[in-house]
Structure formats: C-alpha cells, structure tokens
Amino acid sequence: MRTATLCRILQAELAPFDGRLSTAWRVAATCTLTVMVFMTYGIPLAAIGCYLVLFLMKPNPAETMLMAIGICVLVALMVPVLFGATLLAIEYPVWRMAIIVVLSCFFMFLGAASQVGPAGGIIALVIVFVLTMLGEVPFGEVATRAILYAALMALVPMGVLLGFNGFFGPSVPGRLRQALAQRLDTAAATLDGTDTNARHQALEILREGNGELQKMALFIRLFHITPTLETQALTQAITQTRDLLLAAAACAAPSHLAQQIRADAALLRAGQTPALSYPDIPSWDAAKSATSPLAHRGFFAADAWRNPLYVRYALKTTLAALICYWIYTAIQWQDIHTALITCYVGALGTTAETLHKLTLRITGCLIGAALGVASIYFFMPLMDSIGQLMVLVFLVTLLAAWVSTGSERSSYAGVQIGLAFLLTVLQGFGPDVQMDAAFYRVMGILLGNLVMYLVFTRIWPISAAAAVRTHLQQVLDSLSPSAQRPHGPDVAQLQTDIIPALQQLGYARAQLALSVFEPAHVRPNPAETTHLRDLVNQLESFYLQAVNPPEGTTPPITAMRQRLQGQLADSPRASPPAWRPGTHGESP
C-alpha cells in the first residue's frame, strides 16, 4: 500500500503542466552557458555557480530576475567586507573564527528576518567558504585572488541568468496576464459548478496571496515594460481577481457572471487588459487589508527585534557549519567541504521544514551522484572538448530542472540532483574521469546532513505544532478588536483581514503536513495533529462565512473566538512566534 501511495505521489509530482518544460529548458540552458563561461575563463567552482542558477530560477521570471539583481548588489557590497576581513584574519585563526561567526550570524539573521530572504544565506555561504579557505592559502596575493574568484562565482551565473532571460525568457506581462486569466477561469468554474475541484483551487490561490503577482507588477513598473495606464490596469486586476476569487469561494457572487468572467479571461490570454468590472462582486479595501494586524509591510519583519527565533536560527546554522569545518579540518580532508555548503542551503525555520529539506537533499544527492558516476564511467572517456561536456550538462540539468519546477513537496530534490551531479563531473576545466571526487562530495553532503539533523533537533528545536499554535493565536488575536467593540463587531475590518488570515492558516496547514518528518521527541501525537487541523478548518470556515453573512446578521465573533481560544488552550503552550525565511512583508 505504501509503495502504491509513493508511486501516485511521484506520478503527480513529475507530471507535466503548462510552462514546466519551458522553465526546465531555460534552467538547463542557463546552467550550460554558465559552465561554458567558467571553463573558458578558468573560473573555479563551476558547480556552485550552476547551483545558484538552479536555486534562483523560478517559473516566475520577475522573481528570478529581481533576486539575481539583488544578489549582484549584495556581492558588490560583500567584496570590500571580505577584503577588510582578510586583512584581520589571514594570519590569526582566532580572529578568523570570530569574523566567520559574526558575518555568518548577521547574514543568516538578515535572510530570516527581512526581505533579503534566501539571498542572505547565499551571501553567508560565499563569505564563510572564502574565509575558511584562508587557512589553506595564508598569503595576501593568493587570498585576494580567492576573493575575486568568489565574487565571480556569484556574479557570472547572475549575469548569464539576466542576459539569457532578457533575450529568451518569457514575457513578464504575458505571464501576469496568464496568471490573472487562470484566476478568472477558476472563479467562473466555482460560480457555475462546472468543476467540483474549483473551490478548492480558489482557496489554494487565496492562501498563496498576491505576492507572486505583485512581484511581476513591480518588475513591469520598475523597467517600464508596458505603458503606464496598462501597468496600472494590470496592478489593479491583481486585487480585482483576488476579490472575485474570494467572493466565489464564499458564495457571495451570482453564478450568471461566469460567462462574462470567462470572456475577460480570453481577452487576457489574447494580450489585452479588460476593465474587469463586476458590479455584483463586493470589493474590499486593499490598503486597509495591507494594514491588517496579520499583514506587515517593511524591510524587516514586524517582530524582527523581539522574536528570539531569528537569532537562534542564525546561531544554529552557523554552529552546524563550523562543526563541519572543524571536522574536515581536523582530519585534513578538505575534499568533503560540501558538508559546510549543506548547512547553509539546508536550513529552514522549523525542525519539520529543515528535516524535509534534508530528506530531499539526501535523496537528490544519491540520484545526482549516481548520474555523475555513470557519466564519468560511460561518457567522459569519449569526450575531448568542453562542447561535449556542455551537452552532457544540459541533458542532466534538464532532468534536474524538471524536478525542481514541481511543488515544494519535491522541488528541492531537483536542485540537489543537479548540484550533486555537477560537483561530481565538473572537477576541473574540462572533461575529467576521476572517480574519487564523487565519493568525496557525497560523503561531505551526508556529513552535513548528519550535523544539521543533530543541531536542529537537539538545540532549540521548533516543532511544527508550536508553529501552528502560534499562527492560530495570531489569527485569534487579530479578532480581539472586532470582538470587543461595544456596538457590535467590525464586519468590514473582519472582511479585509481575511486574505492575510487565509495565508497564515495556509502556512499552518502546510506545517501540519510536514510534521511527519520530525523526530519522535518533537513530533505532535496524532490526536494533537487532528485537534490543530480541526482548529485551522474552523477558523478558515468562519472567515469565509464572515465575507457573506446572512442578511441582517453579523458574525458571532466573540462567542467563536472564546470557544476556539479555549480549544487552543487545551494544546501545549505555544512557543515564540515561528516564521518562514524569506516571506516577511509580503503584501496580501
């Protein structure tokens, strides 16, 4: 039974969908071009450069290019910092360790508690990796060259990515129109009942929020890709389609609008931007929703300076990386330095998320290493040029990119397949047939996974259940002002809070699904999991009913809040607010 279930999951995760192949071949082509530049100009660590491409390239082209630009800016700021750190640390190991700890913690904290997001971990990885190499090259000129190569290692793939996407990438306005059209089709199917799964799809889109679409709108506005009026219309359509989906999911819209909505979706797919005017659809003030207690705008998270989990996250990641560094330095086995890399690319907020990612990392590592060993054994002896190597890189990274463009349940395995393969076969500046590298890289990754498991499950572990209870408490707390109004609940505020509330509850639901990856001493028991999932469902249902209350009635906020607060109190006390790195400040 378990085998059959696993096969169904794999079939669903690997199934083609609209845009998957186009994204996968662009990732593969960008990686291949990156390898060509690294090999041609003798830049070391081509595999890490390709990893940045695999990690950053998303189906959303605007997000990919904005992240690439952000990394270029951070690297430009990082180089002077590295030069200064080198002057202090090159001859003094104690100073080197102190600088590594400070800079690693700073950038990991920045990545967790601000809009910098995953880029903070990438910069921390580059800085720490360069500084740990100073013990091997204790000479000023060599150290300077290492810093410049480290900068090139990050800047070259970003330059290739930006150039390739600029010429061959999908149209950002076109992708935005397609996404808006999909929202309209989902709303129409929900209204007229042609698809029984449409309401569930509408709720999934609402839980995701407008963040991805707003990144596209921001990219269009920053680079003036479309005329100003059209840009304004597309930006407004993001909120309008959100309101439409919400009304459809809450049964607050008449079904006769389905035909008009589908006609507007067809216009969007044809490259036009219709007005999207539906008088019978209620509208909620987007500006008011953005100032909801559950939403936050700003560079730093609302609790960045009072939530200890951000600092703990940075300290745990840094500790795991240093343990790996001390181990392979003590035994004089520098070839397993991938252990240190593992710590920075595998760390996430909760124990469940981190172990889920480590599981995918081990699985992807073994698959990628097997492909690398097979390539070295069967194909490398037949190769005598970089061009032939590029063909091999393209084919395998195409497979890895196909997996990485799937859902969050499996996508990181694709990134790891590509990284393990590239670390195995890209050993110099051309085809190489050494088998030892594959063994060393795999051993390093497994060591890093072991250290990460021990650190994140034994030191300040954050259970998924604690994160869920925290998010539930935040949603309940947001109801307090409405529940305590002397003249009745503020239904309008309740309605504008629904989008950030659905996002919080969607994250709580995802955490419960990941709890199976936690060790026994952290994982909630089945009864507690069921209890928390029921609370999530009740709160979500309440908010959807509040959007469309029966005429002449108001939602029973006070009674509902007291009842759910009592049920939540039956669970163990919630830990300090949990978070998901890289999601702070996302507008609803």
The 3-state secondary structure of 393-407, one letter per residue:
HHHHHHHHHHHHCCC
In which residue ranges of the chain is pLDDT below 50?
1, 286-288, 290-291, 488, 572-588
What's the whole-number average pLDDT of the chain? Answer: 79
DSSP element (H, E) containing 186: helix 172-192
Q: Are 444 and 343 in contact (CB under 8 A)?
A: no
pLDDT, residue 307, reads: 80
User: Amino acid identity, residue 532?
Assistant: L
- 578 DSSP assignment: P
What are the CA-CA distances from residue 85 to residues 89, 92, 146, 223, 556 (Å)?
6, 11, 13, 36, 60
pLDDT, residue 422, reads: 87
Tokens for 70?
């952000």
pLDDT, residue 346, reads: 66
Between helix 338-346 and helix 308-330 the angle, nearest 10°, is: 170
pLDDT, residue 584, reads: 42
CA 339/CA 446 separation, integer angstroms: 7
Whether pTM > 0.85 for this model: the answer is no
pLDDT, residue 481, reads: 60
State what percent of residues in the chain have pLDDT above 90. 12
pLDDT, residue 348, reads: 62
Q: What is the CA radius of gyration of the chain?
A: 25
pLDDT, residue 494, reads: 66
- 463 DSSP assignment: -
Q: Are 158 and 72 in contact (CB under 8 A)?
A: yes
pLDDT, residue 489, reads: 52
Q: Are 192 and 109 in contact (CB under 8 A)?
A: no
CA 569/CA 476 separation, integer angstroms: 12
Question: For the chain, give me the number of helices (H) and strands (E)?
Answer: 25, 0
Closest alpha carbon to 420 in 441, 389, 401: 441
> Count of CB atoms within 10 A of residue 136's CB?
11
pLDDT, residue 305, reads: 82
Alpha helices in 331-385 (DSSP H): 338-346, 351-378
Each residue of 36-74: b (16+ CB within 10 Å) or e? bbbbeeebbbbbbbbbbbbbbbbbbbbbbbbbbebbbeb
Tokens for 415?
């990134």
pLDDT, residue 274, reads: 86
The angle subtended at Cα 562 by Cα 558 and Cα 563, nearest 5°, is 115
- Most distant CA pair in the chain: distance in Å? 82
Q: Are 470 and 575 in contact (CB under 8 A)?
A: yes
Question: Over the stretch 92-144, which tens digit does the pLDDT of each residue have?
Answer: 778 888 888 998 999 888 888 887 777 788 788 888 887 787 666 555 566 67
CA 516/CA 416 separation, integer angstroms: 21
The domain limits of the chain are 19-170+307-458, 172-275, 464-569
